[in-house]
Homo-oligomer: A and B are copies of this chain.
Amino acid sequence: MIAPAEPLQNGQNGTSHEAQRAPRNPYAPVDDFLSNVNRFKIIESTLREGEQFANAFFDTETKIKIARALDDFGVDYIELTSPAASEQSRLDCEKICSLGLRAKILTHVRCHMDDARMACAIPGLSGLDIVIGTSSQLQQHSHGKDMDYIRRSAVEVIEYVKSQGLEVRFSSEDSFRSNLVDLLTIYSQVDKIGVNRVGIADTVGCASPRQVYDLVRTLRGVVSCDIECHFHDDTGCATANAFCALEAGATHVDTSVLGIGERNGITPLGGLMARMIVADRDYVKSKYRLEKLKDIENLVASAVEINVPFNNPITGFCAFTHKAGIHAKAILNNPSTYEILNPSDFGLSRYVHFASRLTGWNAIKSRCEQLGLHMTDAEYKQCTAKVKALADIRRLTLDDTDAIIRNFHKSIGSNDDVPLVDGLTEGEKRTLEADMPAEATSIV
């Protein structure tokens, strides 16, 4: 299923690389009839789970912008806050259902007839995502209902929603701390009365990947309907868990833009794209407009007043920045050496960092070529030694480094003592003038 070493297309930094086919990875799981990694669907929940993010306040106009952007990106479903949450929530549901989007619109409601009736009255709605807590913790400390009550409510609500001609999903909440027999019993029962999807939810973010695989695989043998999964990220496994759920036969994954949601959120849309494009590049590229990802993330980040994390998959500011000399050299030869994702798939560029003590002469040579300065290999190595020496004593900007390179180039064949950068202290000058062993710079 994993197809590593997908031949990368031409880089964006002016170099061109011959596409090449690497041998199949012997550790990749064998193709499996259960797996849906090459045919999954996304239920995008920025406008439901995302609204539960501490910083989120979405006015109607913002909700419309986000819904249109997600539709444009190509998500299969857009999930909205329950119309029972507040009057404006209900009006916003109506508004978004009236936009004529290609994506199906869902709303997420408690397993209660009042909520179901309110939701079913919204014109243009495609379906309801019904949820109820099934863990002993939630039975005891939240709604106070037992499994018999839960089963009776589920059947009543599902049959009502179906009678209204809408899609319906039934999900437990906190599935990974619920009793297995209870879960399988209720899922089996709602499957028999024709629910469209059952959902499992790691509401507290406790599940681990192999545990997810096991539960979904078990459930796959019990129900014939689709299986939706929802993973919180409290312990950093939300993206991995979604992937393992798909491997085990889940069909739909819940996401939100940047992962925003309760606490530190859920499987992020971008993170899922990064994971899935490695698994099936053709499917992901044919279905989702990946070049829109950065704009959608910026839209949502701005709406909820946060910064995109420095380490965000794909769009983090350094996701395609290569720094150590040994990485830079290989990337300049062939980006597939140190990139499993191709930045051009997302409308982005890679960047080879050369302004540090960890740089190497291949990176400096590449920069010299960008600057139109040509030297011999021995001179590139000498120049690299100067960059590394200064980078050892202070933080170098791009400008600093370009100045060192230009001044070094100017000094070649000249007897003048050209200072490589301005404003050096006496100590810094002494360090710069000291000869570095060529070996130490050429090999790192």
B444–A211 contact, CB under 8 A?
no
Do B53 and A318 touch across chains, with their CB atoms under 8 A apart?
yes
- The CB with the most chain B CB atoms within 10 A, among A211, A272, A393, is that of A211
Q: Residues of B contacting A137 with CB < 8 Å? A: 5, 22, 330, 334, 336-337
Which of B29, B57, B241, B339 contacts A395, CB < 8 Å?
B57
Q: Is the CB of A206 within 8 A of B357?
A: no
Is A380 on the interface with B (CB-CB < 8 A)?
no
Q: Verify A142–B330 contact, CB threshold 8 A.
A: yes
Stretch at the interface among A94-102, A145-153, A435-443: A435-443
User: Could you mark each residue 128-155 of chain A with 1 if its beta carbon is under 8 Å from any beta carbon of chain B, else 0?
Assistant: 0000010111101110000000000000
- Knowing A137-B336, A236-B274 are in contact, say whether A262-B389 is a contact too (CB < 8 A): no
By the criterion CB–CB under 8 Å, are B233 and A237 in contact? no
Complex Cα distance A321/B234, Å? 12
For A356, the chain B residues whose CB sits under 8 A away are 56-57
What mask results when residues 313 to 325 of chain A are scored 1 for a CB within 8 Å of chain B, else 0?
A: 1001111111110
B211 contacts A28, C-beta separation under 8 Å? yes
Nearest B residue (CB) for A326:
B142
Chain B residues near A392 (CB, 8 Å)? 86-89
**B142 A264 Cβ-Cβ under 8 A:** no
Question: B88, B264, B330: which contacts A393 (Cβ < 8 A)?
Answer: B88
- Chain B residue nearest to A212 (CB atoms) is B27
CB-defined contacts of A317 to chain B, threshold 8 Å = 54
In the complex formed, the residue of B with least CB distance to A203 is B338
Instruction: Report the Cα distance A237→B214, complex, angstroms.
Output: 18
Given contacts A55-B318, A204-B338, A341-B234, contact A211 B310 (CB under 8 A): no
Show 10 residue pairs from A and B whose CB-CB distance is below 8 angstroms, ordered by the A residue.
Answer: A4-B176, A27-B211, A84-B440, A86-B358, A87-B389, A210-B213, A233-B311, A236-B271, A262-B323, A263-B319
Interface residues of A (CB under 8 A from B): 2, 4-5, 22-23, 25-29, 51-57, 81-82, 84-89, 110, 112, 114, 133, 135-138, 140-142, 174, 176-177, 179-180, 203-211, 213-215, 233-241, 243-244, 247, 258-260, 262-265, 268, 271-272, 274-275, 278-279, 306-307, 309-313, 316-324, 326-327, 329-330, 333-334, 336-341, 353, 356-358, 388-389, 391-396, 436, 439-440, 443-444
Contacts beyond the supplied A86-B389, A86-B392, A237-B275: 18 A-B pairs with Cβ under 8 Å: A2-B206, A27-B180, A27-B207, A54-B353, A57-B356, A57-B395, A84-B440, A84-B444, A86-B357, A137-B336, A235-B271, A235-B274, A235-B341, A236-B240, A263-B319, A263-B320, A264-B318, A264-B319
